[in-house]
Amino acid sequence: MTYQTLRVALDGDSADRSYDILTGPGLIDRVGELALPVARGRTAFILTDENVAPLYLGRVQFSLTAAGFNVHHLIVAAGEQSKSFGTLETVLNAMLDARCERTTLLVALGGGIIGDLAGFAASVLLRGVDFIQIPTTLLSQVDSSVGGKTGINTRHGKNLVGTFHQPRLVIADTDTLSTLPQREVLAGYAEVAKYGLIDDAPFWDWLELHGPEVVALSPSPLALAIHTSCTAKARVVAADETETGVRALLNLGHTFGHALEAEGGYGGPLLHGEAVAVGMVMAFDLSAAMGLCPAEDARRVRAHLSTVGLPVVPPKINGAAMDAKALLHHMAGDKKVKDGKVTFVLARGIGQSFLSREVDPADVLRILEQAVS
Ligand code: NAD
Ligand code: MG
């Protein structure tokens, strides 16, 4: 079977750090041959989690070995708790125990948690080794595996310690999504829909028609959705690698979403993508309430996300509504706050998002109060 190739074009320094994103079916069994051209040595270290290992580790090991790599691996627990100082230490020591060198290729096999942890480990081990991403969740295939943000969580919050370290290659095997729980598929779909809402109204229109097929993993709509999403992400990353400008548009729905995640507790009632879905609905409702965006567009956002099966209102916790003021407070503590001002991604309509730091907290509170009631 054939696959599609997308180039993430990065410049700005002497070494060429540009890389390819390969998307298509059946790629898991070709990792070895695909990785060879980017590998500086013949040692590979696979990092994966306990859910992904029984499904795909053996096949990746086999493929790498067949291509001539000397292969090591480490399996860590699944879940956010692995994006921690403790697990990072375990990974780095396991790599040193395996006598990894600067030419060792770290292979991240799993979802965004493994990708973020592996990328961070790769960026600091021996002052930096190369890594490749083999994303196995929809979210990681359309979002986290592309762009080079790595990191771990601390007791102060998610993703507060990390680096920018670009992978050498991304291999997204769409077949791996067949084993993913449907709820995780939907969570990833929220990030797919986000690209339409940011700046691609025709893609959004297409999703309104074909979104249900995408979340049912129908091969060609799925391939198109992943390809379009990666193209969008690659374009934004190439324009603004370290998020000093337009890359912040990718946070559409995330300021509200992070507040919902924080209030629910990580590992709580909402997956990240679910929180983003609710957050995008709120961002459009806010934009409509501020008179910036047609109410009809906000309605379409809510209707479509709800149709595919995503939540569009904050969940109740133990039967109780979330507290709007507490949510507002979490937003003020977001990592993207600059000089005490929250940067919002607002919209003039579907596919017309923009950044604003001039949002009245009273307007935000009204949206939150409506949503939780
Ligand atoms: P995840 O890595 O936890 O994967 C979700 C679950 O699915 C896990 O239990 C995992 O073990 C399991 N799984 C993975 N692949 C599977 C498969 N093919 N079949 C069956 N089960 C499978 O979660 P995620 O949603 O992929 O990633 C979330 C993380 O990504 C968060 O930590 C978030 O902060 C991070 N993230 C990073 C970026 C970035 O730019 N670096 C962007 C977005 C999100
Ligand atoms: Mg996200």
Give tens-digit pLDDT for 250-289: 999 999 999 999 898 867 899 999 999 999 999 999 999 9
Please provide residue 171's backbone torsions phi and psi, each rounded to the nearest 5 degrees.
-120, 105
Mean pLDDT calculated for residue range 32-57: 98
Mean pLDDT calculated for residue range 339-344: 82
Query: What's the CA gap between 368 and 149, in Å, rounded?
Result: 29
The closest-lying atom of ligand 1 relative to the alpha carbon of residue 140 is 26
Mean pLDDT calculated for residue range 160-183: 97
Which pLDDT does position 107 carry in this prediction? 98
Judge contact between 168 and 132, C-beta under 8 A. Answer: yes
| 60-77: pLDDT as tens digits | 999 999 999 999 999 999
Task: Name residue, tokens 């229109």.
Answer: 205
pLDDT band at 337 (very low <50, low <70, confident <90, very high): low
Q: What is the pTM of this model?
A: 0.95
Is 101 annotated in some ligand binding site?
A: no
Query: What's the CA gap between 243 and 206, in Å, rounded?
Result: 28
Nearest bound ligand to the CA of residue 115: 1
Q: Ligand 1 center to residue 51 CA distance, Å?
A: 11
In three-state secondary structure terms, 185 is: helix
Overall size of the chain counted in residues: 373
Which pLDDT does position 12 carry in this prediction? 61
Query: What's the CA gap between 69 and 35, in Å, rounded?
Result: 10
Query: What's the CA gap between 295 and 45, in Å, rounded?
Result: 51
Quick one: which of 117, 116, 121 has its CA closest to 104? 121
Q: Ligand 1 center to residue 271 CA distance, Å?
A: 10
Greater confidence (115 vs 318) lies with 115
Ligand 1 test: best mutation among 51, 183, 194, 222, most atoms within 8 Å of CB?
Answer: 51
Judge contact between 342 and 334, C-beta under 8 A. Answer: yes
pLDDT band at 82 (very low <50, low <70, confident <90, very high): very high
- Ligand 1 site, residue 113, Cβ cutoff 6 A: yes
Ligand 1 test: best mutation among 88, 144, 276, most atoms within 8 Å of CB?
Answer: 144
Which positions are annotated as active-site residues? 127, 149, 191, 233, 243, 247, 251, 254, 258, 272
Tokens found for residue 199 = 């700046």
What single DSSP character describes residue 176?
Answer: G
Is 343 annotated in some ligand binding site?
A: no
- Ligand 1 site, residue 257, Cβ cutoff 6 A: no
Mean pLDDT calculated for residue range 291-316: 98
Tokens found for residue 84 = 């921690």
Helix, strand, coil content of the chain in percent (nearest 5):
50, 15, 30
Q: Which range is least confidently modeled, 28-37, 126-135, 157-166?
A: 157-166
CB under 8 Å to 182, separation ≥6 — which residues?
215, 309
Query: What's the CA gap between 190 and 308, in Å, rounded?
Result: 10
Is 149 annotated in some ligand binding site?
A: yes
Judge contact between 313 and 301, C-beta under 8 A. Answer: no
pLDDT at 13 over 60: no
What single DSSP character describes residue 55?
Answer: I
pLDDT at 318 over 90: no
Query: What's the CA gap between 121 and 105, in Å, rounded?
Result: 12
CA distances from 12 to 106, 122, 167, 225 (A): 24, 21, 16, 30
Query: What's the CA gap between 346 and 253, in Å, rounded?
Result: 9
| 197-242: pLDDT as tens digits | 999 999 999 999 999 999 999 999 999 999 999 999 999 998 898 8
